[in-house]
Each structure stands twice: as C-alpha cells, then as structure tokens.
Amino acid sequence: MATPKLETRIRQEQILQAALEVIGEEGVQGLSVARVAAKVGVVPSALYRHFPSKEAIIDGLLEMVGRNLKAFVQESCATASDAPDCLHRLLVRHLQFLKDHPAIPRLVFSEEVIATHPGHRQRIREVVEGYLDDVADRIRAGQQNGSLRGDLDAAALARLFLGLIQPAVILWSVSDGEFDLDRHGREVWAMYQDLVRPPSGNTSSE
Amino acid sequence: MATPKLETRIRQEQILQAALEVIGEEGVQGLSVARVAAKVGVVPSALYRHFPSKEAIIDGLLEMVGRNLKAFVQESCATASDAPDCLHRLLVRHLQFLKDHPAIPRLVFSEEVIATHPGHRQRIREVVEGYLDDVADRIRAGQQNGSLRGDLDAAALARLFLGLIQPAVILWSVSDGEFDLDRHGREVWAMYQDLVRPPSGNTSSE
DNA sequence: TGTACATCAGTGAACGCGCGTTCACTGATGTAC
DNA sequence: TGTACATCAGTGAACGCGCGTTCACTGATGTAC
C-alpha cells in the first residue's frame, strides 16, 4: 500500500479530474476505470470506494459541467456593460475554454454518452437545456432594456448562439489545432452582433 | 450454410446499410461486428470477406456520408431560384434527414470516431470541410449575383449555416423526439435570412 | 453436352484482450475509555 | 497517557463478458475443355 489514504470527497474530485484528463487524451471511448485509476495513482478497484460504478463517474462529470456552464454565464454577464457585451464575453470564454479543455464539449456533445445510458441522456438534456435557458434569460433581459433587438424569439436566439460554438468544436477536434478559433469567434460574433443589434442607435438605453 | 452467397459489391452495400441501422439503434458505441453481421444475416467472420477490418467499415460509412452531403447541396441548389432559396432548401432537407436518419449526424459529429483512429479523423475532416466549402461556394455565387449580402465572409457564413443545424442534432438526440425540428428550422432560418439579405430591395437581380 | 477444376462467399471454433465489477484482505487513522 | 477497537480507503486476485480477428473448412457457382 504505497498510496496514502485520502477522504472520499478529495478522491471523488481527483477521480473526476482524472476522468476529464483521460477523455482529453483518449476520447470518451478511452475512458476506462483502469486508466482513471492509474491517473489517480490507485488500483482500479479502489475507485469503487468512492463511486458505485463507472456510470456514476460519468454522471458526476456531467453534473460538474452543468455547474461550470452556469458559472460561465453568470461570470460573463456580471462584469458586462450590456447584453451584447455579456454574450460576447460568454462566446470568447467558451472558445477559450474549448482550447484549454477540449474534453468537456467532447463529453457533452458525445453521442456515445447519450446513447449508452438513458440516465446520461437525461442529464445531458438538463445541462444543454439549462444552458440554453440561461442564455435565453440574458437575451430576454437585453431585449427588455433595449440593448438587443426585440422582435426575435429569445429561445431561438439562444440556440443560434450555441450554433456559433458547436461548429468550432467539431472543426477544432478534427483539425489538430489548425482551426483558428479566435478568428472564428471574431467572424461569427460580428454576424451575430449584426443580427441582434436594435434597429435604432440606442444600443445602451437604461 | 443457410445464407446464399452474394457478390462482394452487394454485400458491402448491405454491410454499410446494416452498420447505419445499428448506429441508429445502439449508437456508435454499439457498432460491433457481431451486430452488423446479425443484421446482414451472416456470421461475424463473413464480414471479413468484404471488408479488411471494422475500421474499414466505418471509413466506408464516412465516405458514403460525404457523397450524400455533396449530393444534398447539388440537388437543393439545382431546383432553387436563387442563393437564399438554395440555402433554405438545404436546411430543410438536412433537418428532415436528421429526423429520418439520426444515425448519420451521430456518426459525423461523434467524438468517439474522431478520437479512436487518426484515419477517421482525417476522413471526417474531409467530409466536414468539404461540406463547408460547397456551402461557401454557393454563398459566394449568391454574393456575386446580388442575391446575398456581399460584405460578409462566405466561409464564416457557411460555418454559421452549419451552426443552424448542429444545435438541432444534439437537442433532437437528447429530447426523445420532443424537440420541434420544423419550428427550429423556421426560426433560425428567419434569422439567417435576415442576416444575409442584401441591403437594398433587389433580392433577385440577375 | 458433360466433366474437372478454380474461385470465393460463408462457416464455426478458437484466440487474446481489455473491460467493469466483486470480494476477502490489510493496515493506518481516529475515537472511547 | 496508554490501550482496545471501529472505521474505511486501498489491495490484488479473480470473475464473466463481449470484443475484433484468424483460420482451416465447406460447398455452391461459373468457366475451360
């Protein structure tokens, strides 16, 4: 027993972190109990002291991702001057996050995880729809204070916002880092901004 | 030997078709040689008369998808009156296709396939970038004949067009068919159309 | 037209492998007395 | 302060399973003579 004992709470965090690293390196398909255990520095069966099953680990990851997305929206908009600025910060943050931690979108948009287990599908549904709802709320607020054009459906605009990010995920995955995320962000943001700009010039009415 | 012999060409098509069905039912993760063989009505080892490996089957699928996407763009635009109409038909066709054959986008956007084998990543790259290039070409043509606004980058507009479709893929997968694809199509198309409409009223100058 | 032979799709047993999970165990840590 | 005990994280061997793939074989089909 070279490995010191640690509390379950700490181990759970370590396990989730290790699982994310494995997904980043080997893909969702490569996520095995053995590999996660090796990264934690522990024997595979030790993981069962902290999670009842591999499915529970994946569920823990999805829950974590959901919390992170919620925090992203809040933090991006807390420091923003108006709704367009909030959305812009959120987009930039997402693209940067994609660059730093490609494992997360891989996990959320992974058909594999969805199809394997009904519980995962439900969890991903909560994460994606929760995110879209948060974004739509911010859009609605912007529409009400006049910083965003008011005649477009907020939920549909939120889906379109997600559509600024998703193509970047696949192109980034597929291109071995050649795809220019920053440029993509600038280009699609210019278009989105153009679309949601209120008709008159009062972009920051209070 | 209850199974009659058939030519390799026919079997190859049957195998690819069966593989698509398996992905539709069990996900990419559930795609196994045994399941495909069962669907074809043949013993697992028989597949090796027609494909050298499971990887080759997946590669065959990706190639097929690439051909289908190319055909989609051509057919949608052949009967269209102008570039916006062409893009609209293409969008509707894609969403309908997603409804009928959810396995295909699952395959193309599957992180699993990408991460597993470098050859697959290259193939998916060809498919996605080829599709984006085709769409961008149509957009460029529309910009030149004045049916599309000319001051936006065609490649970025093509990526945004893909962004109309991708959120629908994940929401459709995750919602057990509850997500309203037709409504999504109408809403995001209205926005896209609004964005790409030329500034003056001459939407169909020749 | 009839026979001999090459071709090759399909068979089924077998393989080695990595997988998720279990279980009896070990032994360090913290608490009760 | 010192001893006895409960707790529980980590161990390592073992499990059954499904996987992709191989290989010697079978036997129907089509061709050459």
Alpha carbon of B14 to those of B2, B38, B52, B101: distances in Å?
17, 11, 16, 16
- The residue type of A102 is P
Q: Cβ within 7 Å of strand D: which of A 4-43?
A: 4-8, 11, 42-43
- Nearest CA-CA partner of B128 in B148, B153, B158: B158
CA B49, distance to chain mean position in Å, is 28
Q: How many angstroms separate the CA of B43 from the C1' of C14?
A: 15
Structural contact between residues B166 and A173, judged by C-beta atoms closer than 8 angstroms:
no
Here the tokens at position A10 are 């700490």
Quick: pLDDT tens for A139-174: 999 999 999 999 999 999 999 999 999 999 999 999
Q: Is 0.85 topped by the overall pTM? A: yes
| Per-run averaged pLDDT (10 residues), chain A, 206 residues | 80 97 92 97 97 97 96 96 97 96 88 82 96 98 97 98 97 93 98 94 45
CA B9, distance to chain mean position in Å, is 23
- Residues of A whose CB is below 8 A from B191: 152, 156-157, 160, 195
Hey, is the C-beta of B125 within 8 angstroms of any chain A C-beta?
A: yes
Q: Give the per-residue pLDDT at B2.
A: 60
Quick: pLDDT tens for B124-179: 999 999 999 999 999 999 999 999 999 999 999 999 999 999 999 999 999 988 99
In this complex, do B115 and A28 lie within 8 Å of one another by their Cβ atoms? yes
Hey, is the C-beta of A119 within 8 angstroms of any chain B C-beta?
A: no
- Residues of B whose CB is below 8 A from A26: 115
Q: Give the per-residue pLDDT at B126.
A: 96
Four-point Cα dihedral A116, A119, A120, A123, nearest 10: 160
| Per-run averaged pLDDT (10 residues), chain B, 206 residues | 80 97 92 97 97 97 96 96 97 96 88 82 96 98 97 98 97 93 98 94 45
CA of B6: nearest nucleotide by C1' is C9
